[in-house]
Amino acid sequence: MQRIGVGLLVLALALATAVLAQQQFENVEIKAEKVRGNVWMLNGTGGNIGVSVGEDGILIIDDKFAPLAEKIRAALAQIGQGKLKFVLNTHWHGDHTGANAIFGKEAPIIAHTNVRKRLAEGSAARNVRPAPKEALPVITFDESLSVHFNGEEIKAFHIPHGHTDGDIVLLFTKSNVAHLGDDFFAGRFPFVDIDSGGSVRGLIHGIAHLLEQLPDDVAIIPGHGPVSTKENLREYYTMLVETTEHVRKQMEEGKSLEAILQAGVPERWKSWAWNFINEERWIRIIHRSLTGQRLDFPVPRGRDGHGHPHPH
């Protein structure tokens, strides 16, 4: 009897959540914003979509949530008449791959090997069910891949153990635009999905590498937030290094997690908190990511100033 009661309650909650989610998506506006050259960005709820538009047709990077598919389609129709030819996924999370099952029927999906693996398996830790076959990437790679499209080479690189273990970042070589997926949350604390192979130190190394590799005047599409500059990325990097170092030092001194939470992040970075990743959650992510690792050496200082020490 009690079990039935709990079951009904769970069902009612699930339904209420679904209705709420539907309503949330109904009010979402998806706008296309020109970034530079062939490249556009679709903003609105979910991860930012990068778009290449031109004579070869349309290529999209990430596809938000399934209930937004028609709004995405409408926004794309406003900027180009060509057909959808390729879909890329920056990583496996549902706010970036949610409409895969819809767009995957129209164009091949390209992603890192671990994106296909994690979508196919689902995740108990994140309460995500295995995705259907049509939502899975059909072209996968481990290190790097290029798509030659709309008159330019679009390069994709794997960032090992950043936000997840299947992250790729993309560079539109002629338009001079990069899409960094969730390795870059513009102006706010990032989510690092440790259960999906993410790592705070790995993320720091990945961003240090990008600061060396990306052109100085590149326009950057973050996973979440507005189009940014390399200077914005450098500040994000400094935040990652300083907040991580702050937690690491206290762990090395033997302080408890409670005491570290109490101390908070350095004053300069407090305003980077937001509703999803507040100060406490960011500190918990750093702490969990560093737990079990060697603490007796500092995180790389990298290029937040004018120096050039390389962390690798």
Residues forming contacts to Zn ion in the complex (CB under 5 A) are: 93, 182
- Please name which of 71, 84, 79 lies closest in space to residue 30, comparing C-alpha atoms: 71
**How many CB atoms within 10 Å of residue 271?**
9
Helix (H, G, I), strand (E, B) or coil at 133: helix
- Least distance CB 225 / Zn ion (angstroms): 13
Q: Which of 112, 91, 93, 109 is nearest to 101 (CA)?
A: 109
CB of 118 to Zn ion, least distance (A): 11
Q: Which is nearer to Zn ion, 71 or 163 (CB)?
A: 163
Residues 6+ apart with CB under 8 A from 82: 53, 54, 55, 56, 57, 58
Q: Which is nearer to Zn ion, 223 or 302 (CB)?
A: 223
Residue whose CB is less far from Zn ion, 93 or 161: 93
We find the least distance from the C-beta atom of residue 164 to Zn ion, in angstroms, to be 7
Contact 240, 200 (CB under 8 A): yes
Query: What whole-number distance in Å separates Cα of residue 30 and Cα of residue 42?
Result: 6
Of the two residues 104 and 198, which places its CB atom closer to Zn ion in the complex? Answer: 198
Q: Which two tokens stand for residue 268?
A: 């300069």
* Beta carbon of residue 9, minimum distance to Zn ion (angstroms, whole number): 30
Residue 96 CB, nearest distance to Zn ion (Å)?
6
Which C-beta is closer to Zn ion: that of 92 or that of 269?
A: 92
Helix, strand, coil share of the chain (percent; to 5)? 40, 20, 40
Nearer to Zn ion, 40 or 92 (CB): 92
Give whichever of 23 and 127 is closer to Zn ion, judged by the CB atom: 127
Least distance from Zn ion to the Cβ atom of residue 77, Å? 27
Quote the least distance from Cβ 261 to Zn ion, whole Å. 24
In contact, 110 and 87? CB cutoff 8 Å = yes
Shortest Cβ distance from residue 41 to Zn ion (Å)? 17
Give min distance, CB of 61 to Zn ion, in A: 13
Give the integer Cα–Cα distance in Å for 135 and 155.
Answer: 23
Closest to Zn ion by CB, 41 vs 260, is 41
Q: What is the rounded CA–CA span in Å between residue 228 and residue 42?
A: 14
Q: Nearest CA to 218 among 106, 77, 50?
A: 50
Greatest Cα pair distance, the chain, in angstroms, is 68
From CA 54, how far away is CA 39, in angstroms rounded?
Answer: 9
Report the C-alpha gap between 190 and 52 in whole angstroms: 26
Question: Which runs of consecutive H residues, i.e. helices, occur in 107-229?
Answer: 113-121, 200-213
| Two tokens, residue 167 | 């992250």
| Residue among 16 and 125 whose Cβ is closer to Zn ion | 125
